[in-house]
Amino acid sequence: MKKDLSIDFLGVHCENPFFLSSSPVCNNAEMIAKAFDAGWAGIFYKTVGINGMDECSPRFDIAAKEDTPWTGFKNMEQISEWSLEQNVAEIKKLKQQYPTKVIGVSIMGSNEEEWITLTKAVTAAGADILELNFSCPQMTSHAMGSDVGQSPELVRKYTRAVVENTHLPVVAKMTPNISKMEDPAIAAAEGGAHGISAINTIKSICNIDLDHLTGQPVVNGKSAISGYSGKAVKPIALRFITQLAQCEELNSQQLSGIGGIETWQDALEFILLGCRNVQVTTAVMQYGYRIVEDMISGLSHFMDERGVNKLEELVGLAVQNIIPAEDLDRSYKIIPEINYEKCVGCGRCYLSCYDGAHQAIAWNSQTRKPEILVDHCVGCHLCLNVCPVYECITPGHIVFKEGRDANRTEEDIVKQLVYL
Ligand SMILES: Cc1cc2nc3c(=O)[nH]c(=O)nc-3n(C[C@H](O)[C@H](O)[C@H](O)COP(=O)(O)O)c2cc1C
Ligand code: SF4
Ligand code: SF4
């Protein structure tokens, strides 16, 4: 199923919000052509620098859990291995072949002069949007990447240099290797940026090699701290996006969300938090360009079911419902309810509640089923999260803490829930 998923991003018409993020998934014109044919609306071309990079081998590692590989992905790659001239030729070719697709190009210099040279070259090549890479965490030059992105002064200065030398919309790509992303993002806005994209990868050591006594991947007996991406980073990305969306000084900026997006639901979560555009790398490295077909169809079905005509209507709907921890209602608990028709008696809820929560589940050895002890239960919902059977344990009734009902009933609480 296909619905109209089009949305403008920085004044550029995009047939849908799905973009490839700058990385090896968009290294050259031939591969990007394949991605466009699969349905991606646009790309942010692999970061172009003045000179090609000198890379190490191997350069990837994964974090796995039980039988789930690729919960997270670590890479030690820098920006494009190609020269500026080679990349400009690819971008020109691509724009001629695909005039209606959106070609964002990521650039990174090591001083003002380089930023200006790159800006002029890529603008002349036919790019639609410029993305400024202030965020690669494993550059071999400290005058580039996340070291620059952690300095609001440099972000402001380089953004201004770019904006003054192009007519194109400019997006600043932020590093998550910082506690307050708003500071460099505001500096980019002051420098004239039109949008903010986040996140780039998170500094990590994914695994220690127990034989070689270094991190993985092992490069001639050594390893290095470098960027982590994929499903595991989505919660961190969503946190940063929320803070950007809630920051008043950034009201003028449009947001592009990146980090752990694999499915249409992941993408929609970023849109509900204020992104008009989403970008993907790790899931494409694992599954290929074709994942965009499911994204288009899933989002189309969702909009159809919920009576949403324009994607724009969904942008930012969840932002107001993320509030400071001190403002959360702490006056009640929700006691879980077990559906005994579905319960297979595996005992995982009993075990987790005993060893990891509040000993509020008794084991009935006659029925071989768990029973909730309401007086002990604190409503933490660990049991819901460990039960392997879909909707076997669900949120049950609400119990107010002593003296905290403030004349409200369970219905009053339920009434406040908002649905789309
Ligand atoms: C192998 C690899 C290379 C990357 N290279 C770049 C790059 O050249 N420029 C850039 O801005 N981001 C680069 N990134 C970061 C991604 O664009 C993206 O911000 C990050 O991986 C999070 O998204 P994901 O979880 O969908 O992968 C790279 C990521 C990976 C995994
Ligand atoms: S909600 Fe928490 S305390 Fe209550 S039964 Fe479940 S795990 Fe135990
Ligand atoms: S975890 Fe779920 S299926 Fe297993 S005993 Fe508890 S309620 Fe039953």
The helix (H) or strand (E) run that includes residue 234 is: helix 234-245
| CA–CA gap between residue 5 and residue 330 (Å, rounded) | 39
- Ligand 3 center from residue 346 Cα (angstroms): 5
8 A C-beta contact, residue 105 and residue 127? yes
Q: Compute, in angstroms, the gap from residue 349 CA to the centroid of ligand 2.
A: 8
Kindly report, residue by residue over 52-83, the tens digit of the pLDDT.
898 999 999 999 888 888 999 999 999 999 99
pLDDT, tens digit, for every residue of 312-330?
A: 999 999 999 999 999 999 9
Among the bound ligands, the one closest to the CA of 149: 1
Half-sphere CA count of 123, side-chain side, radius 13 A:
16
* Owner of token pair 């030729």: 89
- Run of H or E residues at 63: strand 60-65
Cis peptide before 336 (omega within 30 of 0): no
Select the more confidently predicted residue: 2 or 200: 200
> 157 CB under 6 A from ligand 2?
no
Nearest protein CA to atom 10 of ligand 1, as residue: 22
Cα-Cα-Cα-Cα dihedral sign, residues 74, 88, 6, 196: positive
Residues 6+ apart with CB under 8 A from 136: 47, 78, 79, 108, 144, 145, 146, 200, 201, 227
- Decide if pLDDT at 415 tops 90: no
Pocket test for ligand 2, best of 369, 377, 387, 393 (most atoms within 8 A of CB): 377
Task: Say if residue 379's pLDDT is above 90.
Answer: yes
Q: Could you tell me if the CB of 381 is within 6 A of ligand 2?
A: yes
pLDDT band, very low/low/confident/very high, at 418 (cuts 50, 70, 90): confident
Instruction: State the pLDDT at residue 111.
Output: 97
| Nearest of 223, 93, 201 to residue 149 by alpha carbon | 201
pLDDT digits (tens, 9 = 90+) for 25-52: 999 999 999 999 999 999 999 999 999 8
Residue 136 annotated among the catalytic residues of the structure: yes
pTM flag (> 0.85): yes
Does residue 121 carry a pLDDT above 80?
yes
Phi, psi for 160 (deg, rounded to 5): -60, -45
Which among 56, 136, 247, 349 is annotated as catalytic? 136
pLDDT at 414 over 90: no
Cα–ligand 2 centroid distance for 420 (angstroms): 29
Model confidence at 6, in pLDDT bands (50, 70, 90)? very high
Task: Give 97-118 pLDDT, tens digit per residue.
Answer: 999 999 999 999 999 999 999 9
Q: What is the mean pLDDT of residues 194-220?
A: 97
CA dist 407 and 415 (Å) reads 15
Distance separating alpha carbons of residues 390 and 124, to the nearest angstrom: 54
What are residue 267's phi and psi, to 5 degrees?
-60, -45
Reported confidence tier of residue 2, pLDDT bands at 50, 70, 90: confident
Which ligand is located closest to the Cα atom of residue 345?
3
Cα(401) to centroid(ligand 2), Å: 16
Query: What does pLDDT average to over the chain?
Result: 96
**Tens of pLDDT along 271-297?**
999 999 999 999 999 999 999 999 999
- Give the tokens for residue 289: 């360009």
Are 175 and 265 in contact by the 8 Å Cβ rule? The answer is no
Q: Is 93 in the pocket of ligand 2 (CB under 6 A)?
A: no
Q: Is 298 exposed, middle or buried (0-12, 13-18, 19+ CB in 10 A)?
A: middle
Distance CA 316, CA 192 (A): 23
Percentage of the chain exceeding pLDDT 90: 94
pLDDT confidence of residue 24: 96
Q: Name which residue sits closest to atom 6 of ligand 1, judged by CA.
A: 23
pLDDT at 337 over 90: yes
How many Å lie between the centroid of ligand 1 and the Cα of residue 90? 20
125 in Cβ contact with 155 (< 8 Å): no
| Ligand showing the shortest atom-to-Cα distance for residue 374 | 2
336 close to ligand 3 (CB < 6 Angstrom): no
Rounded CA-CA distance 129/170 in Å is 6
